[in-house]
Every structure is written in C-alpha cells, then in structure tokens.
Amino acid sequence: MPLSGRRTRLAVLGHPIAHSRSPAMQVAALRTLGLEDWSYEAIDVPPEHLAERVRAMADEGFAGANVTIPHKEAALALSDEASERARAIGAANTLSFAEGRIRAENTDAPGLIAALPGSARGARTVVLGAGGAARAAVWALAGAGASVVVTNRGRERAERLVAELGGELHRGGPLPLSELDLVVNATSIGLRGGDHDPGGELAALKEIGLEVDQLSDRTTVVDLVYVSGGTGLVGAGMKAGATVVDGLEILVRQGAASLEIWTGHEAPLEAMRAAANAADLR
C-alpha cells in the first residue's frame, strides 16, 4: 500500500509501447474508482534493461505493472514468486511489488474466459497459434472444461504446447467447423502495419485449417488481435452471423483482472471499454 500523500504508480512495460491502449483504459478505470492519487503510464523498456527496470520500480512508488510483448516470459523468470497459473502458462503479464518482492501473475487466461459470452464447459474449441497467448488460451479453456484442438504454422511448437498443457493437435486439412463451438485466434495473423491485406490474412488462416467461409451463426469467434477497423477474421465472423469477441474486449478483461489485483476494487468495465475504444480515434 502507498505511503500517504504519495502517488501510487502503475505502468505497462513493453518494446515498443507507444501504441498501447492500456494507459488510457487504466487511467479511466482509476478515475472512475475515485483513486485520484494513482497513475498508470507506458514505459518503453528494451529487453536488456527489463530486469534492472523492474527491480527499481518498488522504490520509485510503483505498486505493479503490466508486461507485454516481448517481456512476458522474462517477467516470469525474474519474479520472486509466481502463481501456479503463470508458471503453467510460462508467461506473466502482471507484476505486483510488495514487501520487497516481485510477484507474477497471468491475467490473459482469466481475461479470455471472462470475455466469452457463455460457459466454456463442454465447448468444442480450436485455438489457432502456439505462442504465449495461445498457451494462456489453452490453459484457460482446458481448465474451464472445454475440449481443445490446437493448430499452428510451426508444428513443433504446437506439439510442445499440447504435451505441456493438454489439448489435441490438429492433424491438418480444413478444421471441421460444423463440429466446433468456439474458434480462438491467438496467432498474430490480422496484425498489420499501414497496409490492410484481407486476402493475405484469410489465406494465412486457411493455411492452418480455418476456412472462414465455413463459419456459421452457431460458432463463437474470438480474435485476440485488435486493429483499427477490425481484423479480417472479425469481419468474416460477423458476416457469417457468428458471435464475435474482438481483441479489445480481451484487452479490457485482462486489464480489469490486473487492476483488481493491484487495487482490490472491482474494475469498472464500461469505463475501461469506452476508453479503450476511444483510444482508437486518437
């Protein structure tokens, strides 16, 4: 807890970080909660300086920090204690500083579950990808009682994920979408710079088994990627009448879980959503 009269600082650490919507979203949450003496800032930290930066933060008045690309594995490694969830996933996106110790947690996993429109129990799901976000998704869905198939461009990484966290490896060819309830994109497909190439995006999804023209209104599509105007997958899901959860909602939910850890207050989701959306317009 902060010393009285002293500002309590929070931050997001990444590299690059300039385009993160977390500061706008978290500041809106802190103001809505009336936590006027709390702040949240973006700090660009190159990988070689991460350990030194994190270890200095408690003395600089920080109560905690979010950690994003490319630091999530390193953040877990440098922590003094980590939750079972963060250790199983192998990545941390939330650090807390108290009593001279660094504690690591992963809120990407509960954030995904919280963003789903219904229970994941018994849902037949496919997770696209095998990186850190996919590991959090598989851990969360399997833990919530869903069956999970994993498909990824690189087979070895997917094999390792399934061996460590459960689920089944997709054998190749088109995914049987009529038999699936939930599709989670945890690859970077859909992230783009200035040029939007929907054809390339949908072709990359097809390469790993997802034929978007086979989506239907009985599928829920979750895309962890968020881009201005929506990804090609979000667009295809909406066109097919599927229930769609976009990456901004995932961002809001993981941020809400982090905020609750640091402040002990229930996160104001509507204010966070509005601020995350408005950050798009700047």
User: Residues in the site for ligand NDP, rule: CB under 6 A?
Assistant: 69, 108, 129-134, 152-154, 157, 186-189, 191, 204, 208, 224-226, 247, 250-251, 254
Q: Which residues are catalytic?
A: 72
Closer to ligand NDP by Cβ: residue 132 or 268: 132
Residue that is written with structure tokens 């690859």 in the block: 187
Q: Which residues contact 154 (CB under 8 A, 6 or more apart)?
A: 130
User: What is the spatial distance between Cα 182 and Cα 186, in angstroms, rounded to a whole number?
Assistant: 13
Task: Tell me the closest approach of the beta carbon of residue 73 to ligand NDP, in angstroms.
Answer: 9
Helix runs in 64-183, H state only: 72-78, 84-89, 108-115, 132-143, 155-165
Q: Compute, in degrees rounded to 10, the torsion defined by CA atoms 119, 125, 128, 133.
A: 30
Beta carbons of 206 and 222 less than 8 angstroms apart:
no
Q: What is the DSSP-derived secondary structure letter of residue 125?
A: E
* Residue, CB closest to ligand NDP: 131
- Closest approach, Cβ 247 to ligand NDP, in A, equals 4
In angstroms, what CA-CA distances link 53 with 45, 48, 71, 161, 255?
8, 10, 12, 30, 21
Residue 166 phi, psi dihedral angles, 5° rounding: 100, -175
Nearest approach in angstroms of CB 256 to ligand NDP is: 11
Q: How far is the CB of 48 from ligand NDP (least distance, A)?
A: 19
Q: How far is the CB of 186 from ligand NDP (least distance, A)?
A: 5
Taking CA atoms, 120 is separated from 4, 8, 186, 245, in Å, by 43, 37, 17, 14
